[in-house]
Homo-oligomer: A and B are copies of this chain.
Amino acid sequence: MRLAILGAGAVGGSVAELAGEYGHEVVALANSSQAAVADEDEEIDVESALERAASDEALGSSDPDRVFETDYDVLVEATPTTLGEAEPGFSHVERTLADDKHVVLANKGPVAERYEDVRALERESAGSVRFEAAVGGAIPVLSTIEDCTPQAVTAVRGVLNGTANFILTRMAAEGLEYEHVLAEAQDLGVAEADPTFDVDGTDAALKCVILANVLADGGFSLEDADVTGIQDVPPSALELAAEDGRTIRLVGEATREGVRVGPRLVPENGAMAVSGTRNIVQIQTRHAGDLYSSGRGAGGPETATAVLSDVGRL
């Protein structure tokens, strides 16, 4: 497939780097200000483009809008997640589908905040929308639900934010205060300079909203989610939990009725008590009991594999 990639950060850059290995061609790669665009029947030189961007030079010599004029098969939307109107991500989806082409999202915004709008545009288009990379990084959550068929899935629960999980794991292991471990996480690059969405539960909630939308075929956005973050979990709560053979994880739950995210007590040695930045998802099914899938929930290459999985399924 010919890929046009919007977003040249960790995810977009990794998709561009790995595309060839999966048998695909990159015909365009854009960040917010420039684009590297290939001539017809050509592909771009991904390595050079990324080297330029890494050296603070222009990624390419074209306007990002030119991406849509290339002869692409699949648009990979890997620009930063935005809320509410989910722009410019939503417009990218809209334009791609209007051109009867496919879009693979790593960006959570359009399918968390405007799910029904996206599906309506998809129905009018020859193109399809896929978004495995928006939930759980490398873990095949949405494709598993798709294979089970959503109607056979009753609920999805999970630890879906690696930053929050790392912090809680370290707090429990060392008895340290939240602020101290957050600073450690930032030093390690596990938490962003502005970690708000990770620690206040928004990131996990967006993923659960997407899951609820898949189960119920729409109806939810972030404002419908009941969300509590981890900023107020004191070390004493973790000690108390440990005395009872438990620990605390930021757990998200998605059903057809809604979404809840918050710190929960989980058995210390149970499946939900994943460590460090790992994520886990529990898919509750009607005929096959519970399926658990765990792995790396974030990271450039990890999320890129989810994008490329989706491209493969088109």
Chain A: residues with CB nearer than 8 A to chain B?
A: 14, 18, 21-22, 137-140, 143-144, 147-149, 151-152, 269, 271, 285, 287-296, 299, 301-302, 304-306, 308-309, 312-313
Contacts and interface: CB of A to CB of B under 8 A. Distances in A.
Nearest to A14: B287
A280 to B, nearest CB: 8
Nearest to A271: B294
A296 B178 CA distance: 37
A242 to B, nearest CB: 14
B309 A148 contact: yes
21 contacts: A18-B287, A22-B149, A137-B288, A140-B140, A140-B143, A140-B147, A147-B312, A147-B313, A148-B305, A149-B308, A149-B312, A269-B269, A287-B302, A287-B305, A288-B299, A288-B301, A288-B306, A290-B295, A292-B293, A292-B294, A292-B295
B305 A152 contact: yes
Contact of A143 (B21, B147, B295, B302): B147
Interface centre among A21, A138, A269, A306 (most CB of B within 10 A): A138
A87 to B, nearest CB: 30
Nearest to A308: B149
A304 B21 CA distance: 34
A156 B294 CA distance: 15
A103 B299 CA distance: 38
The 4 closest A-B pairs by CB, nearest first: A138-B288, A291-B295, A147-B309, A287-B301
A14 B143 CA distance: 23
Contacts of A22: 149, 152
A106 to B, nearest CB: 14
A312 B304 CA distance: 25
A295 B302 contact: no
Contacts of A312: 147, 149
A295 B305 contact: no
Given A140-B147, A143-B147, A312-B149, A291 B293 contact: yes
Given A139-B291, A287-B304, 9 more contacts: A14-B287, A137-B288, A140-B143, A144-B144, A148-B309, A271-B294, A287-B301, A288-B301, A290-B295
A306 to B, nearest CB: 8
A312 to B, nearest CB: 6
Contacts of A287: 14, 18, 301-302, 304-305
Contacts of A313: 147
B291 A294 contact: yes
A287 to B, nearest CB: 4
B302 A289 contact: yes
A17 to B, nearest CB: 9
Contacts of A139: 291
A296 B301 contact: no
A308 B147 CA distance: 8
